Amino acid sequence: MAADTARTLDADKTDGERELDRLFALQKKAYAATPFISYDQRIASLDKIIRLTEANEEKFIEAISADFGNRAKHETIIAEVVVTVSGAKLARKNLKKWMRPRGVATPIHMLPGKSRIEPQPLGVVGIISPWNYPVQLALAPAVAALAAGNRVMIKPSELTPRTSEALRDAIASEFAEDECVVITGGVETGQAFTETPFDHLLFTGSTPVGIRVAQAAAKNLTPVTLELGGKSPVVIDESADIAAATKSIAHGKTLNAGQTCVAPDYVLSPQSKLDAVVDGIAGAARELYPDIDTTSDYTSIVSDRHFARLKSLVEEARDRGVKIVEIGSANALHPQRKLPLTLIVDPPQDIGLMKEEIFGPILPILRVQSTDEAIAHINGGDRPLALYWYGSDNDARDRVLQKTVSGGVTVNDAIWHVAQENLPFGGVGKSGVGAYHGESGFETFSHMKPVFYQSKFASGSLLHPPFTARTDKILSFLRKIL
């Protein structure tokens, strides 16, 4: 009867779900046979990531651009290839140190025993990667998981199918299926992936989907790392160099046409400098993209659905009579879904673009009277994935950093804290759970196992029963010295 039920359940599965089950079973078996991957094997895996990323650079460039409609070659090289390779090289350089057991202090009454933390692979790690940086956000967490000695399964987004296929083929050219593999498929496969009992699951995407992923993983008590998003603020201080700040903000917002989880989502400007901030961002954007509607340097919006959503956010603001500054024609090259950088000046708080993550080249700019008002505005919403502060007043800077909570911060620039591989990358609250990059990534995908090595000269038996007056004397002594 049980066998019949199992066959019926299997018959209800899609081909993608059955392939997922096969690969997961294969990787679990491989982990059981070799639960601790050696240093040399891990180095070999990191070399494979470096090699396949560099060897497939042109294929990735073409696939990503085709999936988006247009994506600048140089953006893909910088954000996908360079970032991935640099992360793998950093892991390669530091792996021996990361793998080494870490000695920790042992209480005096437990000497001469020794205490250590010994990193251990978790097993099979699942990675759900998004569409906006479809190579980097699949391979960067894979680097951390492989460095930690795990088997890896990657489920890329169905919104970038050409890139998913290129990634699948590139991984297959270097790795055996029981080491690292890409599984493609639609919504059903993605849902099944979240319900697979991985030893750790990393998801990068929106907060609403992240909540569903966490709920599915919880059924198996699968630990999760959730890299989400939110409304990342920019705070311009009275002391800021407006020309430098606005050029940086324009670049941070137009990178990948704003389709970046850490893109500036809105700007808080001193009231006295609001017009200069608006003019500065607009002017900087025109310098970055002199022909924003036609240049191949400017990335398209990934799909018609996403394009329509962004247009509707702008139209809602327009209907409310809000000042709008568009850098480029609103309808140019619509088949390629080129949306101009659109500045929304002092919008009301109850419209869509102030209530949800924008994820596109639309930038609200709000006036504030003081640093304290900026802090209150930020703290009035969910904790953001990133925060950007511009200025030279260190006291004002420290007040913002100490009184707000965000996943990460860049001071006097935008986005670049994410490129620092020695800094952990992750969110807080609704912008994410956990972090990776560098050693933080190694530890995320490791069980940092505590081990106590008892000495043959241990005196702990003096506290064993039967308890006597001598026990009282020993306890009295210990309480004095502890």
* pLDDT-derived band at 292, boundaries 50, 70, 90: confident
Query: Which residues belong to the active site?
Result: 227, 261
Nearby residues of 477 by Cβ (< 8 Å), 6 or more positions away: none
Rounded distance between C-alpha atoms, residue 127 and residue 285, angstroms: 35
pLDDT at 379: 98
Domains in the chain, CATH or no CATH each:
10-228+435-447 (3.40.605.10), 233-421 (3.40.309.10)
Rounded distance between C-alpha atoms, residue 193 and residue 152, angstroms: 12
Mean residue pLDDT across the chain: 94
Instruction: Write out the two tokens for 458.
Output: 């241990």
Rounded distance between C-alpha atoms, residue 351 and residue 313, angstroms: 8
Q: What is the pLDDT of residues 160-201, one digit of tens each?
A: 999 999 999 999 999 999 999 999 998 899 999 999 999 999
Say how many CA atoms lie within 13 Å of 152 toward its Cβ: 31
Q: What is the pLDDT of residues 226-266, one digit of tens each?
A: 999 999 999 999 999 999 999 999 999 999 999 999 999 99
pLDDT at 376: 98
Helix (H, G, I), strand (E, B) or coil at 455: coil
Q: What is the pLDDT of residues 43-63, one digit of tens each?
A: 999 999 999 999 999 999 999
Count other C-beta atoms under 10 Å from residue 101's C-beta: 11
